[in-house]
Amino acid sequence: MAVVGLKKRINELADKYPLFGRYVADGNFKAVVGLFASLALNILFGIYNGVLGAVYKALINGILAAYYISLAHVKIGVIFGYRSSSRSKESEAHYGAVCHLVTGILLLAVHTAIAFLVKFISDGAFHYDGLLIYVYALYAFCKMIAAIVNLARTRKTKNLLFLAIRNINLADALLSIFSLQVAMLHAFGNIPGANLATGCAMCGIIMLMSVIMILRASTQLERQRREKIAASRGETRDDEDVNCCQTQTCEATIASPNIACDPGTDISDDPPLGESENVATYQKAAR
pLDDT score of 82: 65
Q: How many residues does the chain have?
A: 287
Residues 100 and 161 both lie in one domain: yes
Q: Is residue 97 part of a domain?
A: yes
The last residue of a domain, from among 190, 217, 244: 217
**Is 181 found in the same domain as 107?**
yes
Nearest to 140 by CA among 175, 115, 165: 175
Same-domain status, 126 and 30: yes
Q: What is the mean pLDDT of residues 167-182?
A: 88
With bands split at pLDDT 50, 70 and 90, how would you rate the model's confidence at 260?
Answer: very low
Q: Classify residue 27: in a domain, yes or no.
A: yes
Instruction: Quick: pLDDT tens for 102-122.
Output: 889 989 988 888 888 887 777
What pLDDT band is residue 281 in, cutting at 50, 70 and 90?
low
- Is the residue at 246 inside a domain? no
Say yes or no to pLDDT of 217 above 90. Answer: yes
pLDDT at 47: 92
Give me the mean pLDDT over the 44-56 stretch.
85
pLDDT band at 94 (very low <50, low <70, confident <90, very high): confident
Residue type, 141: F
Nearest to 204 by CA among 174, 238, 244: 174
Structural domains of the chain, count: 2
Local confidence band at 209 (pLDDT 50, 70, 90 cut-offs): very high
Would 144 be classed as within a structural domain? yes
Asked if 164 and 271 sit in the same domain, the reply is no
**Does residue 180 have a pLDDT over 70?**
yes
What is the percent of the chain with per-residue pLDDT over 90, rounded to a whole number?
13
Query: pLDDT tens, 241-254?
Result: 555 555 555 555 55
pLDDT at 4 over 90: no
pLDDT of residue 265: 47
Asked if residue 115 and residue 58 are part of one domain, the reply reads: yes
Establish if 275 belongs to a structural domain: yes
What separation in angstroms does the CA of 21 have from each of 29, 36, 92, 284? 10, 18, 21, 69
Asked which of 217, 247, 271 is the last residue of a domain, the reply is: 217
Same domain, 144 and 265: no
Co-location of 75 and 181 in the same domain: yes
**Tens digits of per-residue pLDDT, 183-196?**
888 778 777 788 88
pTM: 0.71
Q: How confident is the model at residue 236 (pLDDT cuts 50, 70, 90)?
A: low
pLDDT at res. 182: 84
Residues 59 and 187 in one domain: yes
The model's confidence at residue 3, banded by pLDDT at 50, 70 and 90, is low
Residue 266 lies in a domain: yes
> How confident is the model at residue 219, as a pLDDT?
94
From CA 4, how far away is CA 120, in angstroms rounded?
53
* Residue 124 covered by a domain: yes
Residue 195 domain flag: yes
Query: Would the pLDDT of 238 be above 60?
Result: no
Residue that finishes a domain, picked among 169, 190, 217: 217
pLDDT at 158 over 70: yes
Closest CA to 283 of 262, 256, 246, 265: 256
Pairwise CA distance, residues 237 & 231, whole Å: 10
Residues 212, 275: one domain?
A: no
Q: What is the model's pLDDT at position 267?
A: 45
Domain of 159 in residue numbering reads as 14-217
- Contact call for residues 63 and 13 (beta carbons, < 8 A): no
Q: Band of the pLDDT at 213, cuts 50, 70, 90?
A: very high
Residues 187, 260, single domain; the answer is no
Among 77, 241, 236, 265, smallest CA distance to 161 is for 77
Do 152 and 281 belong together in one domain? no
Query: Would you say residue 86 has pLDDT above 60?
Result: no
